[in-house]
Amino acid sequence: MYSKRIGVISLGCDKNRVDTEKTLALLSEKHTLVPSIEQAEIVIINTCAFLESSRKEAIEEILSVIDQKQNGRVQKIIVTGCLPQKFVGDIFGELPEVDAFMGVSDYGEILDVIDRICKGERVNAVGEPKGECGKKRVLTTDNYAYLKIADGCSNHCTYCLIPYIRGAYRSVPKDDLIEETRELGDVKELILVAQDTARYGHDLTPKTDLVDLIRKLSALSNVHSIRLLYCYPENVTDRLIEELKTNDKLIKYIDMPLQHADDKVLKLMNRKGTYKGYLDLIRKLKSEVEGIAIRSTFIAGFPRESEEAFMNLVRFLGEAKLFNAGFFKYSKEEGTPAYRLDGHIPQGVKTKRWKKLYSVQKAIVKDNLKAFVGKTIRIIAEGFDESELVYYGRAYFNAPEVDGKVYFFSAEPVEYGEFMDVKIIKATGYDLYGERL
């Protein structure tokens, strides 16, 4: 059997990263994985298409690889994931240099597709969204690993393309997740992800829930800790809060995408929450789970977002005092109900509101971090910053890539992946600085 040198580019979210890692495991059975595109005969680009900006990034990456193909450095190109899943009807004809297109649930066919394109065939292998392509993965992260516990979404928020790309919500069976986690080896931090993580198990027979899954994963000896991302607030139950409070392996951290806080805007978004309901939930989490770090995301400039509605969101941030938050400018996505609404906000106004939200939250984060100055906190070491000439790592309130870091001086060499105590000396922006004890 021939073996090709294959390079993979993974774009988009951490759920996409899991798909890429499963694809890498399949590829490694018959082909050689190379660390750079310059070494590759075949290039696979796993794409995102959630927003216009992500589609633009994907197309630019594809065109860059096409340029290398035309210069003779790459033989074949395969585009996978969200972009072909939603738009293969458009891009199959517009990008004739791409040899194959595969959707969000077609990764299991990758070896067959490679065989076909190497024989000269041009392939459209985009199928309907369905189950996962396997349990084995080639990890692309250090010290932590993502576990995609479900795919798709059935919430149908009016601004979101995910249900139209990835289909209805589909929980991965618990036994499959346990087996996949065992295959990961020693995991310092297992990060549970889905479009709505807290909804896990509602569609399975018999029904189960996220707490049952957390307890099964916590019992695994190779899992040191578990972090929760993307828990929709309406599914954050008393049972889950109690688990956050009592399970020593469950990190006292939760990411809850709220998206807004004004009641009228939330209704237009087809979100199930209210200003008061969200605030009550946040206060309950803080009172029940000592020291919990709550992160969220919000959209600025949704259609018909009045100045009053926007100021309600600003006021909410001041009351909620979230540990951290991310903000996005509303993206008008054709095919979504919000696309057809009147009252779309000018881009300049969206940008102004987006900056204001970041400014408000930055002051809150500064106060949150100042509370750690003079204290000793536990972190996991992850690397060395050449510009700052200090090591860095993450505390329990730092999720990878989206939150800040803890920078620290150490008189002795540091082993990455090692847990250690750091005394905090100062707080700057989103980061902390200290010294190893």
* pLDDT number for residue 286: 97
Domains of the chain, each with CATH number or no CATH: 5-124 (3.40.50.12160), 144-363 (3.80.30.20), 376-436 (2.40.50.140)
- Work out whether strand 100-101 and strand 293-300 pair parallel, antiparallel, or are unpaired: unpaired
* pLDDT number for residue 309: 97
For 202-236, how does the pLDDT look when each residue is reduced to its tens digit (9 = 90+)? Answer: 999 999 999 999 999 999 999 999 999 999 999 99
* pLDDT number for residue 407: 96
For the chain, the average pLDDT equals 94
* pLDDT number for residue 134: 80
pLDDT band at 133 (very low <50, low <70, confident <90, very high): confident
* pLDDT number for residue 2: 75
* pLDDT number for residue 339: 95
For 86-117, how does the pLDDT look when each residue is reduced to its tens digit (9 = 90+)? Answer: 999 999 999 999 999 999 999 999 999 999 99
| Mean pLDDT, residues 185-207 taken together | 95
For 24-64, how does the pLDDT look when each residue is reduced to its tens digit (9 = 90+)? Answer: 999 999 999 998 888 999 999 999 988 889 999 999 999 99
* pLDDT number for residue 331: 94
| Closest residue by Cα to residue 165 from 178, 146, 151 | 151
For 246-264, how does the pLDDT look when each residue is reduced to its tens digit (9 = 90+)? Answer: 999 999 999 999 999 999 9
For 355-382, how does the pLDDT look when each residue is reduced to its tens digit (9 = 90+)? Answer: 999 999 999 999 999 999 999 999 999 9
For 333-347, how does the pLDDT look when each residue is reduced to its tens digit (9 = 90+)? Answer: 999 999 999 999 999
Would you say the pTM of this structure is higher than 0.85?
Answer: yes
